[in-house]
Each structure stands twice: as structure tokens, then as C-alpha cells.
Amino acid sequence: MSAEKSRTLLVGLDLGTTGAKAGVFDGGRLLSAATVEYPMSTPAPGWAEQSPEDWWGASKQALRQALDRSGSEPEEVAGVGLSGQMHGAVLLDSDGRPLRPCILWCDQRTSRQADRIRDLLGEKRLSELTCNPSLTGFTAPKLLWVRDNEPELFDRVDTLLLPKDYINFMLTGRRSTEVSDASGTLLFDVSERRWSEEMLSALDIPRSWLPEVLDSVDRAGTVSRAAAEATGLPEGAVVAAGGADNACGALGMGVLRPGDVAVSVGSSGTVLAPLDSPLRDPEMRLHTFCHAAPGKWYVMGVVLSAGQALRWFRDELGEPEVSMARERGVDEYSLLDETASRAPAGSGGVVFLPYLAGERTPHADPFARGVFFGLDLSKKREHLVRSVMEGVVFALDDSVRLMKGLSVPMEHVISGGGGARSDLWRSMQADVFGLPVARAGEPDAAMLGASMLAGAASGAYGSIDEAVSCCVSNGEPIDPDPDEAEKYRPSRETFARLYPALKDIFPRT
């Protein structure tokens, strides 16, 4: 066998909100990737659903395309790892068939059920049991909504899975989950890393519905013959338990130790800081979840519309950049960067609230909405687009400030997601956060992190620390500029005052 054929390859699959993206990795080097998109259904205002069958169809195509493009042989693939969107409720019948479309993380229909859980347990006990508040995005309120509104279907439920766990089930035939994704269900004792019997009893959720919980680095199973034929993966390849998208993204950025901070600007935005022990925010503004690294936790804040806010601007107001990008054969987001750079720091007083789909941290308000504030006749498009980018950074900074207030170690930031490609956006983060910000070496950090879990599960790496040493190489940081930071201060102060001034009006919109 040639030296080329002796490689040990690892596959990462990231099941996102817009599509499935598969990558084939040789160590930390991406050999090939493929993305296959799927639709999101919005049957009513504030609702968001997807078909698990669509996920599986897209995953099969993405895996096969990535493997074909890599030029690899099946026997070179040692393992597969999955990353996935959190909180979705995949309800299976006894034959393993989905009973309904999955209600997604961004769905806002469950405000009454979330309030009921909060009233039933009380915030103090919820914090003690789960380390988290009762929010519309979490899984438990979705189960109560189905029981309230689709009781006949509810009676047929046999198993609850999270989105990426459904793909693992289709690959291996095993119904399981792992600690990082289970942490976002509101049914999981995050401190003890196990299902909470008290939560299940209080909500009258059958324990038999819940799958076995593994560590993220554990083996969930091996690729079945049917899955191998469908995907091009080798039969018998190890499938790791995998991890939630944010946990896998942190792994792919090498963010494992206190002092490290991962900031991701994808469709949503997150600020994630690892911990050696679980932390409970007394006011329940931040989340605490199990990390995909064994024996680790992390605290996190979430902005529901981050890159999605800039995408909205591109789609609705960005025709000049879109047309010019088409003519030049370049990325339209790079042209939006150019437009934004023509406006000064602080956007001339224009401030944008990026709450286009409600908000989570620190406001936990499904009724919050997007706002442009400070417009006058002198303002131009460059002020608007820059204010969108600044508004996302200000919203992320809310989480940074909360963490600093809770004495969470924060020494340097690794920036990931699509937003990390923008030097302008990263420099804004450095100046507003007051921390150095480096770009993640692999833009698709969650996909890389999933492949690292595959390496740990298959034995290609002896530990997650070894995987990080082998695979992660981040860029040089942008240091904060105190003079630039001062230019943001007036707009940042206005941003902080806008939500309290408008929160009673938002439910009327």
C-alpha cells in the first residue's frame, strides 16, 4: 500500500440551520468539503421547523460529495463525528420514524409553556437542577407544547432525540445523545452530567423517552451497512457521540481552558468561556452547559440574530453590493465591509438593535424586535450597514460584560463563524470587548471539532488535548485600540438604553 493510502482520515459533519456541511480531514488539514442545504418551514409567525428526513437526505449527499472530492479510499476513514444545532425536538415513534417536523432552536411558539415551567419549579430550583432558565428555545417547553396542542401525536412518542443525534441514529441504529447537547434540553442535570429525574417528574415526561447519555468523545456506534451504502462511508467506521455546535466550534478553535473565549458570528452569535466547574448565573441571564471536552463546562451568552442580521440587510437593502459582487465575481459581504468602512466608528450615532427574531442574552424576550435609531437626513447607507455590524458586537458585548461581572476568566478571544472572515468585524470586537481577538484557523470550526471528536473516539488521538495540539492553528490577534474604543462609547451607551425604553412596546408589534 502506498504512503498516500496509509493516511488516517477523519470526517466531520455539521448539521446547521441552513444545511449539512461535511468535511474530510487529514489531521487538522481540510482535504475537501461539501454543503447541501435544506429548507426551513414557518407555518405561523414565530414558528420554525425542519424535516429530519431532509437532514438525513442532505447529510447523505454532503458526506458522499466530500468523500468523492477528497480522493480518499473508504478504508482510510477511521471515524465520523457530528456537530449540530441545539435544542430541537426530534420525536420518534417505536419504529424510529419522525412523528412530526422538528421544532427548532429559534422557534418562539412556546412562551406559555416556558412560563409554566418557570412557575412550576421556580427560578432558584431550576438553576439548582439545570443551571439554566426556562426559555422558549429550549427543548422541554417544546414537549409541553406538543402535549398541549397535538395530544394524539404526543401519545405515540417513543424517543426524544436532538437533531445531530437523529443523524447518528441513521448512521448507527443506536438511539443516544451526549452531554453537551443534552445540556440544552432543560431536562438535564448539568452539574452531575445526567438526566434530571426531578425535572422529568415535575413535567411528567417519561424517562423511557430519553436516550442514553454519553460523553462527546465516546463511541455512539459504527457505520451500518445500509448507512455505508447511502453515504460512501466505510461500514464499521467509528461514529463519535459528537457535540452541540457551540461546543464543537470551541473545540475547533482550541478553546478548552479558563481564560480562552470563543466568539462565533454565524446565523446566531455566541460568547463561550470554558470552566473547570459549573457556574450558575444568579440572575439566569447566561447559560451553563457541559463542554464536549471531558470534565469541562462552559458559560455562554447567545445573540439570536448575528450574521443573520447582516444577511437580512444584504437581502433587503444590499442590492448595490450584491449587483457589484455579481459583476466583479467577488463575495458580496466583502463589499458590505467596504461600504461599512466608509462610516466612522459609532456609525455617526446610528444604532441598530439586532433583535430580528427576539433575543436570548441578556433579555430572554421573544417579542424583542430590530430597530434602527438615530437616523437623520445626513445618514447614508454606510452608516446603516456599519450600525448593523456594530449592533451585533454590542449585543455580544452584553454577554462579555456579564461574564466579567461574574469573574469568569477572559484573556483572549478566538473569533469563528462566517463573521470571523471580516477584519472590520474582528477589530470592532477587539475595541468593544477590550480583548485581543484572533481569527480561528479553520473557518468551519464546528466541523473541525466534530472530526476531532471522531479522532478521540476512534483512537486516532489519545485525548482531546492531543487533538487540539495536532489540529488547531489560529491566526495572529488584533489588539484593542483604546482611542477607537472611545469612539464607540456614545453608541454603546445608547444601545444599552434602547431595549429598556422599548421593551413594553415590542409585544404590540
Give the pLDDT band of residue 387 (cuts 50, 70, 90): very high
Can you give the pLDDT at residue 266? 85
Q: Which CATH superfamily is domain 307-408+481-508 in?
A: ATPase, nucleotide binding domain (3.30.420.40)
Instruction: Answer whether residue 63 shows pLDDT above 50.
Output: yes
Share the mean pLDDT of the chain.
95
Q: Indicate the pLDDT class of residue 25, thresholds 50, 70 and 90.
A: very high
End-to-end CA distance of the chain: 66
pLDDT of residue 6: 63
What would you report as the CA-atom Rg of the chain, rounded to the nearest whole angstrom?
Answer: 22
Considering the candidates 181, 245, 281, 444, report the single residue annotated as catalytic. Answer: 245
| pLDDT recorded at residue 437 | 97
For β-strands 410-416 and 437-439, DSSP reports them as parallel
88, pLDDT greater than 60: yes
> Looking up cell 429525574, which residue turns up?
197
Q: Summarize pLDDT for 104-150 with one digit per residue, the tens.
A: 998 989 999 999 999 999 999 999 999 999 988 899 999 999 999 99
**How far is residue 154's CA from residue 453's CA, in Å, rounded to a whole number?**
34
Closest CA to 357 of 286, 419, 309: 309
Band (438; pLDDT cuts 50, 70, 90): very high
Residue 202 has pLDDT above 90, yes or no: yes
pLDDT at 115 (0 to 100)? 95
For residue 509, is pLDDT > 80? no
Sequence spans of domains, the chain? 4-253+441-471, 307-408+481-508
Cis-peptide, bond into residue 101, ω within 30° of zero: no
What pLDDT score was predicted for residue 44?
93
The whole-number pLDDT of residue 267 equals 83
pLDDT value of residue 3: 41
245 part of the active site: yes
What would the mean pLDDT of 36-57 be, rounded to a whole number? 95
Q: Compute the distance between CA of residue 128 and CA of residue 77 in angstroms, rounded to an integer.
A: 42
The runs of H, that is alpha helices, within 85-189 are: 111-121, 123-130, 139-149, 151-154, 163-172, 179-182
Closest CA to 349 of 469, 160, 492, 136: 492
How high is the pLDDT of residue 4? 46
The architecture CATH gives domain 4-253+441-471:
2-Layer Sandwich (3.30)
Task: State the pLDDT at residue 1.
Answer: 38
